[in-house]
Structure 1
Amino acid sequence: MTDVGIGAPATAAAIAAPRGHGTLRRLLRHRSFLIGFTIIALLAILALLAPLIAPVDPSAMRVRFRFRPPQAAFWFGTDQFGRDIFTRVLYGTRISLFVGFAVCVVSGLCSAILGVIAAQFRRLDSAIMRLMDALMSFPAILLALGIAAALGPRVSSVIIALTVAYIPAGVRIVRAAALTVREMDYVQAAQVSGASSLRIVLRHILPNCFSPLLVHLTFIFAYAMLAEAALSFLGVGIQPPIASWGNIIAEGRDYATQAWWVMLFPGIAISLAALSLNLLGDALGDMLDPRLKGGE
C-alpha cells in the first residue's frame, strides 16, 4: 500500500506531461494548422512592420504615376490618384486584422458571459435566448449593415456592428456546452459540497466551454474580416483616406477593366487571410474533438 501511495503522484505527473507535449506535437504535425498559422503570422508581421516596409505614405497622391501597372517601382501598381497599391494593401492589413481581432475578442467575451448565465440561471435563460433568436433572425451581414449605417462610418462602428451580428451563434455554443458540463458528476459534487455558483462557473463550467468557443472564434475572425471588407465596399464601413481592403476594392471597381490590379491584390489578401483562419479553425476542431486524432 505504501509503495502504491508513494508512486501514484509520480505516475500521474508522468502521464500528464506527455499528454501536454503530445497535444503540441499533434498540433505542429497538422498540415492545416501549419499552413494557416504561417499565412496569418506573415500577414501580422507585415502589418506590424508596414511603416518600415511601405515605400511611401498610403495616402500620398502622385497623379503623374496614376494607373501604373505592377512593375519594379510599383509592385502592385497604382490607382487613379497615383497611390501605391502595395502600401495601401499593407496598411489595409493592419485595419482588417485589428477589426477581426477586436470582434473576435469582444464577441468571445460576451458570448462566454451570456452563454454561461443562460445555462446557469434558468430564470434568465428564456430572455437571453429569445433575444439571441431575434438577432439570428436577420442575416449577419444585413444586421451589421444596418447597425454600421446607424452608427456612422467609423472603425469603432464596424467593430460594434459585427460584434452584435456574431454574438448569437457564440452564445448558443457556450450555452450548449455549459448545459452539458453542469450535469457532470464533478459539478454535482461541487454543488453538494456547498460551492457557490460563481465558484462553480469560474472553476468548472467556463474552462470546459473554452474549447468549442475557441474553434468558433477562429471562424468569427475570418468572417469579421470578410464582413469589414464588405461594409467598406458598400460605403458604411471604414472610409478613405484610411486604407482598408474593402474600400481599396470599392475605389477600383470603376476601373476594373482599365486597372485590374487595383482590385486584384486586396482581393488576394482577403482570400489568404480568410483561408488561413479557416485552416486554423479546422485544425483546432480536429485537435480538440475527442473523437478524432488531431488530424494527423
Structure 2
Amino acid sequence: MTELALAVPAAPAALAPRRRFRLMRRLVGHRSFQIGLVLLVLLTFAAILAPLTGIDPSSMKVRLRFRPPSQAFPFGTDGFGRDVLTRVLYGARVSLWIGFVVALLSGVIGALIGVLAAQFRSLDALLMRIMDGLMSFPAILLALGITAALGPRMESVIIALTVAYLPAGARLVRASALVVRELDYVLAARIAGASPLRIMLRHILPNSVSPLLVHMTFVFAYSILAEAALSFLGVGVQPPTASWGNIIAEGRDYATEAWWVMLFPGLAISLAALGLNLLGDGLRDVLDPRLKGPG
C-alpha cells in the first residue's frame, strides 16, 4: 500500500507551478482582463478614498439643492443639497461590498454543494432538486421576495442575492467535478485508499473551480445591478445610507430638471458592470482550454 501510495499521481494543479505561472502571464497580458482590472481597481480606490472629500454624505444643505455640476460640486447636488459626488463615492463602498460578498458566498457555498453532489451520489438528487427549485424562479424575483420577507436592509440584500445566484454556481461545479472524479489521478488516489473527504478536498475541488472563478466575476456584476434594482424599488439598502441604487431612486422624480442626480450613479454602475464583465471574459479565455483569447 505504501508503494502504491507513492506512485499515485497528484492532481495537475499541485504539480504544475510553471503552468500556473504561464496562466498568470497570459492573464496579465490579456487586453480585456487588463481593462477590466483597471476599471475595478479605480472604482475600488475611489470607494476607499471617499472620506478624503471631507464631506458628510448625509449632510443636508437645502439652500444648495439641485445645483448643477460645477467646480464646487463636480457632480452637482440632490434635492436635499447633498453633494452627489460624495454620495456616489460612499455608495461605491456599499454597492461594491455587497457585490463582492455575494460573489464570494455564492461561490464558496456553491462549490461545496457542487462537489458534495458529485462525490456522494446519495446527496446528488436531494441537493440538485433543491437547486432546481431555486432556479425555477427568476433571480431578481427570488431576491425581491426574500428581501421583502426579511426586511429592507443590507444584510437581507446579501442573503437574498446569495440564495438567488447560488444554484448556478453549484451546478457548474458539480458538472466539472463529475468529470474530474473520473480522471486517472483521482482513480489512483481512490485505489491507494485515500478517504472520500481527502479526495474531494485535495483532488476534485481544486481542479473543479476554474469555471466557478469566471462565474463569480459575472455574479459580482449581476449583484451590483440587482442591488441597484432592489434599492431602486425600496427593498434594498435604505437611506440615509448611500448606495448607487437608492441615489438613482431619489433622483427619479427630478429626472428632467436635475438629470445629474441619476446620471452619475448610473455611470458608476455601468463602469463596474463593464469592468467585471471584461475581467470575466479575460479569465474565461485564459482558463478555458477550448478557447484562445486575444491576449
1:98 is matched with 97
Query: Structure 1: which 5+ runs fail to align?
Result: 1-14
Change in 2 beyond 3 A, CA 1:157/1:171: same
Match of 2:122 in 1: 123
The DSSP-based 3-state class of the residue aligned with 1:225 is helix
Post-superposition offset of 1:29: 1.6
Q: 1:25 Cα deviation (Å)? A: 2.4
Corresponding position of 1:163: 162
Q: Give me the whole-angstrom Cα distance separating, in 1, the residues matched to 2:29 and 2:126.
A: 44
CA gap 1:19/1:209 in 2 versus in 1, 3 angstroms: closer
Q: TM-score, normalised by structure 2?
A: 0.93
Change in Cα spacing, 1:220 to 1:22, as seen in structure 2 (3 Å) is: same
| Partner Cα separation in structure 2 for residue 136 and residue 279 of structure 1 | 26
SS of 2:205's partner is helix
Measure the CA separation in 2 of the matches of 1:187 and 1:19. 20
Q: CA deviation at 1:202?
A: 0.8
Instruction: Assess if the C-alpha contact under 8 Å between 1:26 and 1:294 holds in 2.
Output: no
Show the counterpart of 2:27: 27
**TM-score, reference length from structure 1:** 0.93
Partners of 2:155 and 2:289 lie apart in 1 by 38
Match of 1:6 in 2: none
Change (3 A) 1:192 1:16: closer
| Separation in structure 2 between the aligned mates of residue 65 and residue 247 of structure 1, nearest angstrom | 20
Partner of 1:111: 110
* Residue-by-residue CA offset, 1:81-136 (whole Å, 9 max, x unaligned): 00000000000000011000110111111101110111111111111111111100
Alignment of 1:74-223 (within 5 A): 74-223=73-222
Q: Which amino acid aligns with 1:34?
A: Q
Moved over 4 A (4+): 15-18
Instruction: Tell me what 1:50 maps to.
Output: 50
Distance (whole Å) between structure 1 residues aligned to residue 106 and residue 19 of structure 2: 31
The separation in 2 between residues aligned to 1:144 and 1:96, in whole angstroms, is: 16
Q: Percent identity?
A: 70
Name the Cα RMSD after superposition: 1.2
State the partner residue of 2:36. Answer: 36
Aligned length: 281
Cα distance in structure 1, aligned partners of 2:218 and 2:21: 26
Native 8 Å contact 1:27 1:294 kept in 2: no
Deviation at 1:289, TM superposition (A): 1.0
In 2: Cα distance, 1:216 partner to 1:275 partner: 15
- Give the drift of 1:27: 1.4
Tell me, which stretches of 5 or more residues in structure 2 are unaligned?
1-14
Indicate how the Cα distance of structure 1 residues 19 and 177 shifts in structure 2: closer, same or farther if over 3 A, else same. Answer: closer
CA contact (8 A) 2:76 2:84 kept: yes
> What is the distance in 1 between the residues matched to 2:252 and 2:263?
10
- CA drift of 1:55 comes to 3.8
Shift of 1:17: 5.8
- Map 1:206-285 onto structure 2 (within 5 A): 206-285=205-284
State the one-letter code of the partner of 1:200. I
